[in-house]
Chains A and B, each alone.
Chain A
Amino acid sequence: MELLTGIAATSGALNSQRTRLDIIAQNIANARTTRGPDGGPYQRRIVSFESELLRSTDSANGANSPGLATVRVSGVTNDPTPGQRVNDPGHPDADAQGMVTLPNVNLAFEMVDLITASRAYEANLNVAKNSRQMAMRTLEIGK
């Protein structure tokens, strides 16, 4: 048992939420990027999470007893929905009909995601702070 209880789960979650914030920042930054390294418009990226078992809590309770689980990023995938097409013949990335495909980034979605991610990050920070204070209390037993 570690001294700071639950810190493994919390640190995994902090890392994952951090990655999510980075990806959201990337999406917002590229909201108008019409030409990426592959030549096409930027595609919105989505972070997905999965839980990872740290240790099962009780071997006596059989295999189906739940264990302590942290969270990790299971993958960053491209959002396949097509982007908006606008008519802008003067644009350097316009096709023969004068249409430009914009990235499929919706700023409203990204902002909502940003708020959710930072709230989750804060909640996990709170847990880390609490773990620390609990450990300090435990060390003061008998003083």
Chain B
Amino acid sequence: MIAPVANSLNYQLASKLLDASVMRHEAIATNIANAETPGFRRIDIASDFTRALRSQFDGIRPPAVSNIAAINPHLAEDPNVRTVRPDGNSVEIETELMAMSRNRVDHEFLTEIVSRHIKQLKTAITGRIT
């Protein structure tokens, strides 16, 4: 009976995006750490992750959970960023700090969703609202 909650589309999506937000935080930490390394190129989640997720929501019917589970985020160099510095480094510290704040809010939101799913299950088991 636990499987329907763990396999629900929202739960799967939230945990997938939670993985992505943790990975993005790692990327931002790397970018800020290397803000003064000559020739360093900014890294981020590869854009094909969001593209693959979005393509699942093109139709009227919600996508199959197994399709969502097969999409995994990975890191790549950001191809859109320009470098204006003489040392070839493409990190802008303000952009990274903004991205970090935003990512943190995303992370909080997603942990909340995952928590709610688990709480719902607890309520169903115990019959009490915790």
Chain A residues within an 8 Å CB radius of B43: 66, 68
Q: Mark B31-44, 1 if CB is under 8 A from A, else 0.
A: 01111111011010
Chain A residues within an 8 Å CB radius of B53: none
A97 interfacial by beta-carbon distance below 8 Å: no
How many angstroms from the CA of A58 to the CA of B8 in the assembled complex? 28
Which of the candidate stretches A29-37, A100-108, A131-139 sits at the interface with the other chain?
A131-139
Q: Mark B85-112, 1 if CB is under 8 A from A, else 0.
A: 0000000010011001000100110010
Q: How many interface residues does chain A have, given as a range?
A: 35 or more
Report the nearest B residue to A57, measured CB to CB: B75
Which A91-143 residues have C-beta < 8 A from chain B? 116, 119-120, 123-124, 126-127, 130-131, 133-134, 137-138, 140-143
**Number of A-B residue pairs having CB atoms within 8 Å of each other in the complex:** 112
Interface size on B, residues (CB 8 A): 34
User: What's the nearest-Cβ distance from chain B to residue A105, in Å?
Assistant: 21
B26 in contact with A9 (CB, 8 Å): yes
How many angstroms from the CA of A51 to the CA of B35 in the assembled complex? 10
Q: Mark A1-22, 1 if CB is under 8 A from B, else 0.
A: 0000111011011000000000
Chain B residues within an 8 Å CB radius of A40: none
A88 interfacial by beta-carbon distance below 8 Å: no
B68 interfacial by beta-carbon distance below 8 Å: no
B74 in contact with A142 (CB, 8 Å): no
A130 in contact with B111 (CB, 8 Å): no
B33 in contact with A5 (CB, 8 Å): no
A57 in contact with B74 (CB, 8 Å): yes
B118 interfacial by beta-carbon distance below 8 Å: yes
Binding site for A on B (CB under 8 A): 22, 25-30, 32-38, 40-41, 43, 74-77, 93, 96-97, 100, 104, 107-108, 111, 114-115, 118-119, 122
Could you write out 6 A-B pairs with CB less than 8 Å apart?
Answer: A5-B26, A12-B33, A57-B75, A66-B77, A71-B37, A143-B115
